[in-house]
Structure 1
Amino acid sequence: MTYCVAIKLQAGLVFLSDSRTNAGLDQISSFRKMMVYENTGDRFMVLLSAGNLSISQSVREILQVTRLNCSDGGEPITIWNATSMFDVARVLGAAVRRIQERDGEALQRSGVDFNVSLILGGQIKGEGMRLFQVYSAGNFIEATAETPYFQVGESKYGKPVLDRVISPETPLDEAAKCALVSMDSTLKSNLSVGLPLDLVLYEEGRFESDKIVCIDEHNPYFRMVRESWGERLRAVFDSIEDPAWNGGQTDVPIRVEPHRNQHLKKITGPEEKLI
């Protein structure tokens, strides 16, 4: 499995992925899930992938040569000449469908689902930054101000901190820190996600990035984040008052009458009914 997250902000984009794949407890390997496409001064794009490794690798392999015919008979659209990120997402969707047409039936006969989830984000000169999530059918949705991030893979463990911290106004470095905390929560709770990590920050309007880093278990900043988050989370937990079951001095009693419901009823014998 894997975990990837991408965040769209007013200041830029943040991309983070792990590198673990597994086909059982005794078949664990590392494969990068992130691809960066950059034509300095013209376009900057990042692709994240999760799901069946053979499918995602095949999609990435043919993405650069996939072409969409123009309705006006002009030059076919590729990821390198598209004038919008929407068209790049269309090209990616076409690449997914092409692999499905080629391999889907054979996979189905072998009892393997056609499973791939992709995140595509970036900026092309002439328009603003955009972020898309692409599904196994090749269809996609776009991030909005209300939902400024996408996750693929083991997303549930890292979602709470993103929901509490991330908004379009979040500074780029703060969002990167939040993404790393989100990843740490996932690493802590799921063995199918593992180091090393790939982290990319893109600043709006640059059409290039030099903020690309591979993070392993020896990375000083990530080690600090892991230790600090664990310690301070425990400190906040310890600062919350325990429930006072036996009364006493408290401003937050737990034994109170609910406004609209009743307390749970005990069944004390075979003759009693729940309703």
Structure 2
Amino acid sequence: GVAGAFTAFAAALRDHRARTAALPVGGVIELRQTAEAVNAYVAQDRAALENRALVLSGVSHDLGTPATRLRLRSAMIEDAALRDRLDRDIDEMTTMIDGVLTYTRAEIGAEPFRQLSLTSLADAVVADYQDVGLPVTLRQSSLPPARAGTLFSRTTSRPTVDSHALLMRGQPTALRRALSNLIDNALKYGREAQVLTGGDADEAWISVTDRGSVLTEDDLARLTGAFQRGENAGTASGVGLGLAIVSTIAAQHGGRLEFHRAPHGLEARLALARSWA
């Protein structure tokens, strides 16, 4: 009936995928008009995001030419200290625009979803860091059995899955970016990064635990907002978009970014729905 149609419409509207998929149009005239209005708004919002990404891509491309000229000119400076400072400034400028562009692309979430092994993806990302001698390690794990029950039954355990076969549907490039940002954050605020993968029948997750970080869970939760940086970031480059990008990618996968206190630092956990899109 009419109530059922409105209930289905409300459920579709609550779904995070409503931003990237048209809502069903049908039912009574009031419901059809509402669905059409929401779809028009979503289309305008998405067009604005895509236009923003296009502008940023153009700016990023156009900056490449003067940045190259600056690098060539700085190479002719005899003062090594001054030359290094200029090179770092150029790197920071290009990193800033790339970070904003990545954030906008993550908001759009246009990359197609496909079947992938989260453990294999994590292994490849960690190997890239190890190749350049950075203290990043991967350890496979599983979540402890989740406790679940009903009003009429005792609490039961939900079995975990073998992390060696941790298959899910996701956006591989976005997930690689999210994991890299978590590792970069752990290395920036701590001394090392340990990566773990695991999951159950519904969710897959990656956690990155640092060592020696002085940040608290509240600090990291604040850093998920755009353009926020930790107080002890010092002179490290960046504009504070790393965790904001991770949080956006998590939402695009029906998941969330969580923070937990670990024995010697902090754990950032990226939880993902295994069958989201």
TM-score normalised to the size of structure 2?
A: 0.23
Say which structure, 1 or 2, has more relative contact order (CA 8 Å, 6+ apart): 1
In proportion to residue count, which structure has more helix? 2
In proportion to residue count, which structure has more strand? 1
Larger gyration radius, structure 1 or structure 2:
1
